[in-house]
Copies of this chain bind each other. A is one copy, B any other.
Amino acid sequence: MRIFLTLAAFFFAAPAMAEHHEAAPVTPVTIVIHGGAGALAPGRYSPEEEAAFRAKLNEALDAGYAVLESGGAALDAVEAAIVLMEDAPMFNAGKGAVFTRKGKNELDSSIMDGATLNAGAVAGVTRVKNPIKLARAVMEKSDHVMFARDGAEKFARENGLELVKPSYFKTEHRWKAYKRALKAEKENQKDAALFHDFKYGTVGAVALDAEGNLAAGTSTGGMMMKRYGRVGDTPIIGAGTFADNKSCAVSSTGWGEYFIRLTIARDICAQVEYQGKTVEEAADDVIHHRLQDMGADGGVIVLAPDGSYAMTFNSKGMFRGVKNAEEQIIAIYGEEE
C-alpha cells in the first residue's frame, strides 16, 4: 500500500515538478540493498554500532544511486553498492566474513543482468578482495556461469582481480564468535541461538537503470562453522540472485538451504511473470508462506521494471535500504519504514 502511494505521489506530483521533468530519467531509477536478515531487535546493537550500520547502508545506497542518476547501468550500480558493503567489516561479506569450522573465510557471490540473463557466480574463494567483482568477471570474461573454490581463485589470478592475504578478511569480532562456537561444539552444547544467528549477514543489491534494465547481486561469507565446502544460496542463480527484465530482480538473505530448495528468487519472479502479481505480493507469498511453512527464515529485496519494490522478511529484522527520486529509506528492525 505504501508503495502504491509512493508511486502515486510520484506521478501526481509530476506537473508541479515540471522544471525537473525534462531531465528526469525515462524509468524511475531505483536501488534497493540489504545487509542481511536475522534476529535483529532494538537493543541488539549499541547506538554507536547502529549508527555505523545506518551510515554504511546510506553510503552504499548513495554509491549505487549515483551510478544510476548519471545514466549508468544497473549492473554497475549493484556492483558499486555491494563493493562498499564487502569492504565494510560489519557485514558478513568480504572483510568481516564469518569463519568456517576450520577457521577460514570462504566467500560466495553472484550477479545477474536482467536484460540478457547473463550471470556469473563464484563459491568458496579465499583471496579475492571483492567476490562480487569476480562474479562479474566470470559473467563477462568466461563462457561459464559458475566457478568453485581453487578453480575460481585461479580464474581470479589470471584475470587480474585484486587479491589479498586470507587474513585481510579477519575481524576480531568474527574470530571471537568463531572461538565461542568451537568451544560450544567441543562441550557438546546445543547453542542453537548462537549458530542460528550466524547464518545471516549476507549483502545484496537490486537496481533499475534509466534504460529500464534490472540487475541483481549478492555476496556472503556464508554460514558460520560451515564445513565440507558447503555452498549456500548466494551463488545459486534462482535462489540467492535472479534478474529478468520481464519480471523482476531479487537478492536473498537467510537460511540458504531453504532458499535453494524453494528456488526463492526465481519463484518470486515466476509469480510476477505468470500470475501477474506485484513484487510485494509475490515476495509475501514466498517469504511469509512458503519459507515460513518450512520453519525457516530470511528475507529478500525485489525490484520491478516499473520501480515498485519490496523488502520482505520473516526474521525479526533485515538491514535494508532503498533510494529513488522520491525517497531514501534505511531500516533495520521490523515495521520501521
Do A274 and B270 touch across chains, with their CB atoms under 8 A apart? Answer: yes
Q: Does A142 contact B (CB under 8 A)?
A: yes
Contact bitstring A123-158, B, C-beta under 8 A = 1, else 0: 110000000000000000011111111111011000
Q: Does A267 contact B (CB under 8 A)?
A: yes
Contact bitstring A268-280, B, C-beta under 8 A = 1, else 0: 0011001100000
Q: Does A330 contact B (CB under 8 A)?
A: no
CB proximity to B under 8 Å, residues A224-258:
226-232, 236-239, 242, 256-257
Do A261 and B155 touch across chains, with their CB atoms under 8 A apart? Answer: no
User: A228 with B117: in contact, given A270-B274, A274-B275 (CB under 8 Å)?
Assistant: no
Do A154 and B117 touch across chains, with their CB atoms under 8 A apart? Answer: no
Which residues on the B side are within 8 Å of A231 (C-beta)?
121, 123, 145-148
Q: Does A260 contact B (CB under 8 A)?
A: yes
CB closest chain-B residue, reference A150: B229
CB proximity to B under 8 Å, residues A265-317:
266-267, 270-271, 274-275, 294
A220 to B231 alpha-carbon distance, docked (Å): 18
Closest 10 CB pairs of A and B: A151-B229, A270-B270, A274-B274, A151-B228, A238-B263, A148-B229, A146-B231, A238-B238, A155-B228, A147-B228
Q: Does A119 contact B (CB under 8 A)?
A: yes
Q: Does A182 contact B (CB under 8 A)?
A: no
Most-contacted residue by chain B among A229, A232, A257 (CB, 10 A): A229
Q: Chain B's nearest CB lies how many Å from the CB of A289?
A: 13
CB proximity to B under 8 Å, residues A96-138:
112, 117-119, 121, 123-124
A118 to B274 alpha-carbon distance, docked (Å): 25
User: A266 with B270: in contact, given A148-B148, A236-B237, A237-B236 (CB under 8 Å)?
Assistant: yes
Residues on A close to B: CB < 8 A?
112, 117-119, 121, 123-124, 142-152, 154-155, 226-232, 236-239, 242, 256-257, 260-263, 266-267, 270-271, 274-275, 294
Do B237 and A237 touch across chains, with their CB atoms under 8 A apart? Answer: no
Which residues on the B side are within 8 Å of A226 (C-beta)?
144
Do B149 and A148 touch across chains, with their CB atoms under 8 A apart? Answer: yes
Which residues on the B side are within 8 Å of A148 (C-beta)?
123-124, 148-149, 229, 231
Which residues on the B side are within 8 Å of A274 (C-beta)?
270-271, 274-275
A sample of 8 cross-chain residue pairs with beta-carbon separation below 8 angstroms, ordered by A number, consists of A117-B294, A124-B151, A144-B226, A146-B232, A146-B236, A149-B149, A238-B266, A270-B270
Which residues on the B side are within 8 Å of A146 (C-beta)?
230-232, 236, 260
